[in-house]
Amino acid sequence: MCMTLLMFCVLHDLFKGSGQTDFGPQLKSLNKDHFTIVAWDPRGYGRSIPPNRNFPLEFFHRDAKDAVDLMQASSNIGKALNFSRFSMLGWSDGGITALIAAAQYTFLINKLVVWGSNAYVTEDDIKLYNAVRDVSKWSERMRKPMEEMYGSEYFAKTWAAWVDGICQFAKRPDGNICREVLPQIHCPTLIVQGLKDPMVPNFHAEFLHKHIKGSRLHLMPEGKHNLHLRFSEEFNQIVEEFLLQ
């Protein structure tokens, strides 16, 4: 019986900004004999425009609901895919979304894989985000693909709005994004962390591992934020083995 993988893609991932571009090695190479793969763009990103992206305080919970509404058989939306259960893969902000979905919709989620994700923000995190706020200071290699997909104005505006959106969590107790939901995750969970991730320090993965009961933590010594692209063969193998166990 095939599992269904729901992959998340968001602008924060610093790549081309859609499921198709950010998860190319997974869409191409994960075993199609075992998996049905769905790549989803949250509202305001990739192919889910319109609407334009915005960042109210509950935007991660909104994305989680949108994702589940797309997938589940009981959804009232017109384009629901009618999967009664599925597994979720989430990168970066998509991982946060997946954590929330797995906690709130425990009856739907088989397994969970997240990488480059965090359940809270610190003052040091805020410094990292603000340091890359001005996209005009990015290298052309990093900036050009985003501008080609979104246009320079929408990309710059949305990126700055994301920085403001993620920084607003620092005003909450303990910088909370979704700390309180982690104990509610009961599905088998794999946390992958690149030890050289410049955007999400290692202590975030350790926190997830500590507070998600029974979770596994896999460290990739040379991995950075885009470890699933840079080391796609290794990443795919790790994920397949976990999902097929």
User: For residues 89 and 67, what is the distance between their CA atoms, to the nearest angstrom?
Assistant: 12
63-106 tens-digit pLDDT:
999 999 888 755 555 567 888 889 999 999 999 999 999 999 99
User: For residues 101 and 238, what is the distance between their CA atoms, to the nearest angstrom?
Assistant: 22
User: For residues 162 and 156, what is the distance between their CA atoms, to the nearest angstrom?
Assistant: 10
Catalytic residue among 204, 218, 225, 228: 225
98-133 tens-digit pLDDT:
999 999 999 999 999 999 999 999 999 999 999 999
Catalytic residue among 197, 204, 215, 232: 197
> Does 197 participate in catalysis according to the annotation?
yes
> Does 225 participate in catalysis according to the annotation?
yes
Residue pair 231/142 in contact (Cβ under 8 Å)? The answer is no
| Domain 3-244 sits in CATH 3.40.50.1820 | yes
* Percent of the chain at pLDDT exceeding 70: 88
